[in-house]
Amino acid sequence: MPEQSTEIKKKRIFSAIQPTGVFTLGNYIGAIRSWDTLQKEFECIYAIADLHAITVMQEPSALRQNTMRAFALMLACGMDPEKSITFVQSRNPHHAELSWVLSCSTMFGELNRMTQFKDKSAKHSDNINAGLFTYPVLMAADILAYNADLVPIGADQKQHLELARNIAIRFNQRYGDTFTVPDGYFPKQGARLMSLQDPTKKMSKSDENANACVYILDDKDTILRKFRRAVTDSDAEVVFREGKDGINNLMTIYGAVTGKTMEEIEAEFAGKGYGDFKTAVGEAVADHLEPVRTEYARLIADKAYLTQCIDTGSEQAYRITRKTLSKVFRKVGFIDRK
Ligand code: ATP
Ligand code: LTN
């Protein structure tokens, strides 16, 4: 009797990050750190989302440079081109093609409810372009083109993922089973880190105030300084409690890099002042990020290797999405393509 195959098809993961600047501690803890862990178990596909980046004004030469840097940073954070597909979004034309088709299955009202669109149009009131509005459709295309099962993202992207699911369900109902309906994957710890200067706002790499966020390439002195200046409150008590946004955020960060629970952190700093606590958070974060900084310095000096990884990864990505695109085009009634 032939032996039964015991191989179970691995779940597929897709995620992306925009090359809009050096990644912050928020990007790292909220998203990228889990990308690395997932590689051990799943088939992972990770992209640098440069098409998304131009929804806000970019200086062309800076975007090109930031895309290479973001790619190197992604590898420095542990993404391994031998294990996973790592590439640059604009190098696979299927993302933009599918986005158009999906935009015809997306309602204006749905896009109009997206909070990121509202936030970004308030922030960039001189450039409220159509791409900023249809941004979530492109994100849905990124995910659905690969039929991804799981999408590791920070909590701020939940609404976009929900929309991607709705688009997939609607398309499947209209044209027959085509797309996998993806689930979000949110890290247990630190899904949403807040600004160090205004802990009611999310830590964002495009924040004008450099003290508001820790960049993952900041050196130890800079990290310590930023934590020392972090906005807290006047209680001088390290406890996780409603109304203590600044301290809650620092405790979340400390927990995320040390693995300690909130109770353990409260016990560790009972009777100590905010000064000691802030220094401990700074030290722990700097130590945690040190290996990433070292690896980045090595990778960014090797342009030939990075270019080769991008070429290979983009080709692999293209081969996967070609199948989806053929199916989609057939379903919607476009004449056959070769
Ligand atoms: P920008 O400031 O350019 O809008 P961003 O810092 O918000 O960028 P993105 O490239 O939009 O970063 O997001 C990359 C990933 O990092 C996403 O999965 C997002 O959910 C996650 N992320 C971003 N900011 C945070 C944060 N403060 N806390 C946790 N996760 C975050
Ligand atoms: N919009 C995302 C980046 C992104 C993304 C994706 C994340 C673009 N395409 C597909 C997950 C899946 C953001 O983090 N701002």
Residues known to be catalytic: 120, 202, 205
Examine the domain organization and report whether 149 and 246 are in the same domain.
Answer: no
Residues 248 and 321 in one domain: no
Looking at the structure, tell me whether residues 182 and 270 fall in a common domain. Answer: no
Does 63 share its domain with 104? Answer: yes
> Which structural domain, as residue segments, surrounds residue 115?
12-190+302-332
- Do 172 and 37 lie in one domain? The reply is yes
Q: Say if 215 falls within a structural domain.
A: no
CA 193 to ligand 1 center in whole angstroms:
9
> Does some domain include residue 30?
yes
Mean pLDDT computed over 237-250:
95
Q: pLDDT category, 207, cuts 50, 70, 90?
A: confident
| CATH number of domain containing 71 | 3.40.50.620
- Residue 214 clears pLDDT 80, i.e. is over it: yes
Is 191's pLDDT higher than 80? no
Q: Is the residue at 19 inside a domain? A: yes
Instruction: Tell whether ligand 2 has an atom less than 6 A from the beta carbon of residue 18.
Output: yes
- For residue 237, report the distance from its CA to the centre of ligand 2, in Å: 37
CATH number at residue 243: 1.10.240.10
**Total count of residues recorded for the chain:** 338
- Name the domain count of the chain: 2
pLDDT mean over 61-66: 96
Mean pLDDT of the chain: 94
Question: How much is the pLDDT for 335?
Answer: 93
Say if residue 234's pLDDT is above 70.
Answer: yes
Q: What is the pLDDT of residue 192?
A: 84
| pLDDT value, residue 188 | 77
Distance 191 CA to ligand 1 centre (A): 10
Asked whether residue 6 carries a pLDDT value surpassing 70, the answer given is: no
Q: Is the CB of 86 under 6 A from ligand 2?
A: no
126/207 Cα distance (integer angstroms): 17
CB of 20 closer than 8 Å to CB of 205: yes
* Residue 165 within a domain: yes
* pLDDT exceeds 60 at position 5: no
Task: Report whether 310 contacts 71 (CB < 8 A).
Answer: yes
Query: How remote is the CA of residue 335 from the centroid of ligand 2, in Å?
Result: 31
Evaluate if residue 189 carries a pLDDT over 80: no
What is the average per-residue pLDDT within 242-251?
A: 96
336: confidence class by pLDDT, cuts 50, 70, 90: confident
| pLDDT tens for each residue of 278-323 | 999 999 999 999 999 999 999 999 999 999 999 999 999 999 999 9
The answer to whether residues 91 and 119 belong to one domain is yes
Q: How confident is the model at residue 4 (pLDDT cuts 50, 70, 90)?
A: low
| 247 plus 154 within the same structural domain | no
Query: Is 100 found in the same domain as 38?
Result: yes
Q: Is the CB of 202 under 6 A from ligand 2?
A: no
More confident residue, 210 or 51: 51
The pLDDT-based confidence of 66 (bands split at 50, 70, 90) is very high
Residues 270 and 309 grouped into a single domain: no
Residues 29 and 130 reside in one and the same domain? yes
Q: Could you tell me if 240 and 280 lie in one domain?
A: yes
* Residue 212 located in a structural domain: no
Report yes or no on 3 lying in a domain: no
Look at residue 204 and tell me if it is in a domain: no
Looking at residue 190, its pLDDT comes to 64
233 and 267 in a single domain? The answer is: yes
Pocket mutation for ligand 2, best pick of 17, 115, 167 (most atoms within 8 Å of C-beta): 17
**The tokens of 305 are what?**
């290797």
Residue-wise pLDDT for 73-125, tens only, equals: 999 999 999 999 999 999 999 999 999 999 999 999 999 999 999 999 998 89
Distance of CA 130 to the CA centre of its chain: 22
Q: What is the pLDDT of residue 240?
A: 96
d(CA 215, CA 93): 31
